[in-house]
Amino acid sequence: MKNSIAICVLLLAALPVLATDAADPARAVEAAVEAFGEAFAVADVEALDALLATDYVHVNGGSGSLVSRSDWLAWIASRQTDLASGGLVIETYEVQDLRIDLHGSAAVVTGVVTSNGIERGERFASRLRFTNLWVHEDGAWRRAAFHDSPLPDR
C-alpha cells in the first residue's frame, strides 16, 4: 500500500512535466529531469516509461554497453523488485551541478549524480557525471539519450 501511494504521488508530480511550458522551456526541462530522478530513485517503471523518448538509447559508461529502451525499462523493473525485497536500499540519490543548454526542441543536460546505499549486503557510493539529450516530443520533454562516466573518489 505504501509503495502504491508513493507511485501515485510520483505520477501526479510528473503530470505537469508532460505539459509544455512555452514561457520557460529550460524550467520545463529541469522539471522533467527532477521528475525523472525521483522516479528512478524508486524504480517507478510507469513514470520513467512516460518520460522516455520512443527511440531512447542508453550508454552505460561503466561497461560501454548500448542498452535499448525496452531493455533499460526491464532493468528498472528488476531494480524495483530489488528495492521491494530489500536487496537494494538507496540511502541518498542527488543530482547536482545541473546544466541545461537548449537547442530548439532539444536540450543537452549535464550534471553529477551521487548516490549511496546497500546492494546485496554491500555498501556502495557512486558519483557519475552524465550527459542526457532531452527532446520535446508529443508535447512533453522526454529523455532521448543517456551516457555517464564514473568520477574518481574525492
Q: Which helix (H) or strand (E) holds 115?
A: strand 106-119
Would you say residue 105 has pLDDT above 60? yes
8 Å CB contact between 55 and 144? yes
Residue count of the chain, please give it.
154
Would you say residue 114 has pLDDT above 80? yes
pTM for the structure as a whole = 0.82
Q: Which domain holds residue 142?
A: 2-150
Residue 45, burial from CB neighbour count under 10 angstroms (0-12, 13-18, 19+): middle
Torsion angle of C-alpha atoms 154, 36, 58, 118, degrees rounded to 10: 50
Q: Provide the residue type at 131 as one letter.
A: T
Q: Provide the residue type at 73 as one letter.
A: L
pLDDT tens-digit series, residues 128-145:
999 999 999 999 999 999
Best CA proximity match to 42, nearest among 95, 109, 94, 90: 90
**Could you tell me the three cell numbers for 154?**
574525492
Intra-chain end-to-end CA distance of the chain, in Å: 40
Which residues are registered as beta bridge partners of 101?
108
Would you say residue 108 has pLDDT above 60? yes
Would you say residue 67 has pLDDT above 50? yes
- CATH number of the domain where residue 57 is located: 3.10.450.50
Number of domains in the chain: 1
CB count within 10 Å of CB 40 equals 19
Q: What is the mean pLDDT of residues 17-42?
A: 84
The DSSP code for 151 is: P
